[in-house]
Structure 1
Amino acid sequence: MAADIDEQPTGYERLLDAEYAAPIARVAAAIAERRPRHVVFTARGTSDHAALYAAYLAEIRLGLPAGLASPSAITLFGARPDLSDALVVGVSQSGGSPDLTEVLRVARDAGALTLAVTNAPDSPLAAAAELGIDIAAGHERAVAATKTYTAELLALLLLVEGIRAGDGVLPEAERRALADLPELAARTLADPTPTQLAPRYRFAGQLVTTGRGYAYPTAREAALKLMETSYLPALAFSGADLLHGPLAMTDPDVPVLAVVGSGPGGRAMGEVLPRLGERRADVVVVGSAEIAGATRLAVPDVEERYAPLLDILPLQRLALALALARGEDPDAPRGLKKVTATM
């Protein structure tokens, strides 16, 4: 897991290189030409959180309604929704889950434009789709996905911005900003704070993660990593949903990891943090926001839609360190396999 985490800056460099960026641009141009009226994502596990990030991008950057499909509606209940004007995107690091493949098959039969975003371009998911994107993350050693998650994030960002451009070619200012990501990621991973923080939560019984907007998928992915490596019950809530009831469960014995950036989503967390303070919750702020008196996992300040590519990195480090502190093996979580086949 540590080796996979450390490869992420290199993974960003690889995906931003013309060898892999150019095919994504061509896919984006083809989608822009088809002018879909809405976007439906289908994914499971870690990839579901990457898809949620892409749904935010599609609605905010493209102005298209976007959502996540329920595969079981199609695979178990036989639903055949009208997807004739849709772009349907399957996101999966392995491309091997039968339910996602079936969703793309049904969507394509219904007239949808289908796309597979995967680390396995020869997988069943890729074969079922009209278009494909290779996230080029390379072999992932650990069961817990890390570098494939961030590669999915970056590939989906390049896709959406390419569709927004129309011809798949990103504006020069955007290309320059993205070119900084590998160095910023390396700097973030060099920070020893996550490892130093792990003993603080060695005996925690449960944990809450939270964020708004682009940060919400990060909160969900962090909770999953903690659960699958440390077996620590971790509940993820959007900052808004946290205030609608779950806030009551927070107290000094329930740590809260709050992902807070400097954009609109981060500013919206300004309503949440004081309420956590009233509950005397043990809060760690993750991100670029400067919060007086708060324990921080600091991340370089970037435009908010880029922040998920950096915010998750110290949380991956924390999950790894916490698993080791609790005497667990993060490379072999009990009961889990690299590819989970569901219908």
Structure 2
Amino acid sequence: MTVVEQTMRAQKNQWREIATRVSTLESRDFPHGGPKRILFFGLGSSYIAAKLCQLTLKRDRTRRRVPIIACPSTHVGLDAQPGKGDWVFAFTHRASGGPTIQALELADRLGAFTVQVSAQGVEQHLCAQYLLPTTPLERVEPHTAAVTGAICAVTSLLLGDKCVEEWEALQSLPTPSLDLCRRRAGKGPQILVGEWEGEWLAREGALKLMEMARLPVRAFGSEEFFHGPMFSSTDKDSVWHISLPKDPRNDQIKSSHQIGVFGSSPLAWMPALLELQWMALATALNNGVDPDLNLRPESSSGSPMATGSERA
């Protein structure tokens, strides 16, 4: 069994630990009165996790209505200016520096309440006023459990008991059959499309396919696809569609594989993310690519050692 597969199989137990831990946090650790605005940022899969957290909060109609902004770390201070009263969440699994920590430092200087969302065992940066641990450090790129673990920690914190209960319900989902995924995935797609949450799931799925299977795939919003990209595709292209009921392009997208998002609860899209992770692994195996190519050596303490440049 590959390390990627082991990591994905362990996710559900990690959600249980994270949700239980976060549900017991003391309110005195956070500014009184709650946030005036919420800002999420990160890079790569961490940015996609931030974006999915934003969309999850927007799905919950019972929460306090405060503005929620999600952007890449490199846009903080330009498109998104942190300020006093804001709660700022930096999604950075290894917290190894770079643009994400620089953005967190800026937010701290500007008076925002800064939260570092990182793996267990990662040191808290001086500019982070609160450290929110997620999963153990992943031994291999791509990040899978790190993505779902960060989303679990942040949404459980901001949405409370109701969200914790939904994470508990998600733990009962059956683990996808890798053999079935291999039959469905084939050699993988050329294009992934979706709208709203579906677009960001498509982008995360594309990243996993690039990292695990080394496929040069493209990802678009459903509406975006019909405004240019469709003219560069052919009938031979395999298209994976992450479909939401409200996507107006559902009937026009000719997909070879469709992944549905059903329900209106905040985390209704999570099963689709899990399926995409397993389909990416299946594609790698079908193409004879080792998904553990980016495996990090373990230190004597059992934690992954940094090799080369770290992802922010």
- Fold conserved between structures, TM > 0.5: yes
Which amino acid counterpart does residue 223 of structure 1 have in structure 2?
Answer: A
Measured against aligned partners, the alpha-carbon deviations of 1:60-114 in whole angstroms (never above 9, x if no partner) come to 5443333234434569x9x994522322110111122332112111111111111
- Aligned twin of 1:63: 65
Which secondary structure state, in structure 2, belongs to the residue aligned with residue 236 of structure 1? strand
Structure 1 residue 257, shift from structure 2 partner: 1.5
Which amino acid counterpart does residue 246 of structure 1 have in structure 2?
Answer: P
Distance 1:338 1:69 in 2: 27
Distance 2:148 2:76 in 1: 28
Which amino acid counterpart does residue 231 of structure 1 have in structure 2?
Answer: R
Distance 1:85 1:60 in 2: 23
- Aligned twin of 1:86: 86
Contact conserved, 1:214 with 1:305, CA < 8 A, in 2? Answer: no
- Aligned twin of 1:292: none
Which amino acid counterpart does residue 273 of structure 2 have in structure 1?
Answer: I
Distance 1:108 1:308 in 2: 32
Structure 1 residue 178, shift from structure 2 partner: 3.1
Q: Aligned match of 1:286 in 231, 234, 259?
A: 259
Unaligned runs of 5+ in 1: 163-169, 261-265, 289-300
Counterparts in 2 of 1:259 and 1:226: CA distance versus 1, 3 Å: same
- Aligned twin of 2:38: 39
Which amino acid counterpart does residue 21 of structure 1 have in structure 2?
Answer: S
Counting matched residue pairs gives 297
Which amino acid counterpart does residue 329 of structure 1 have in structure 2?
Answer: D
Counterparts in 2 of 1:45 and 1:175: CA distance versus 1, 3 Å: closer
Contact conserved, 1:74 with 1:103, CA < 8 A, in 2? Answer: yes
- Aligned twin of 2:129: 130
- Aligned twin of 2:17: 14
Measured against aligned partners, the alpha-carbon deviations of 1:210-261 in whole angstroms (never above 9, x if no partner) come to 222233321111010001122212222222322332233343222221112x
Which amino acid counterpart does residue 273 of structure 1 have in structure 2?
Answer: N
Distance 2:65 2:40 in 1: 16
Counterparts in 2 of 1:107 and 1:233: CA distance versus 1, 3 Å: same
How does the TM-score come out when normalised to structure 1? Answer: 0.76
Structure 1 residue 6, shift from structure 2 partner: 0.8
Measured against aligned partners, the alpha-carbon deviations of 1:323-342 in whole angstroms (never above 9, x if no partner) come to 122221111149xx778447
Contact conserved, 2:43 with 2:72, CA < 8 A, in 1? Answer: no
Counterparts in 2 of 1:245 and 1:63: CA distance versus 1, 3 Å: farther
Which amino acid counterpart does residue 285 of structure 1 have in structure 2?
Answer: Q
Distance 2:59 2:144 in 1: 26
| Equivalent residues in 2 for 1:160-175, closer than 5 Å | 160-162=158-160, 170-171=161-162, 174-175=163-164
Q: Aligned match of 1:154 in 152, 155, 164?
A: 152
Which secondary structure state, in structure 2, belongs to the residue aligned with residue 257 of structure 1? strand
Distance 1:64 1:102 in 2: 25
Contact conserved, 2:9 with 2:175, CA < 8 A, in 1? Answer: no
Distance 1:63 1:38 in 2: 9
Output the aligned Cα RMSD: 3.0
Measured against aligned partners, the alpha-carbon deviations of 1:239-285 in whole angstroms (never above 9, x if no partner) come to 2322332233343222221112xxxxx1222x2232223xxxx4311
Distance 2:241 2:209 in 1: 14
Q: Aligned match of 1:193 in 168, 176, 180?
A: 180
How does the TM-score come out when normalised to structure 2? Answer: 0.83
Distance 1:80 1:324 in 2: 41
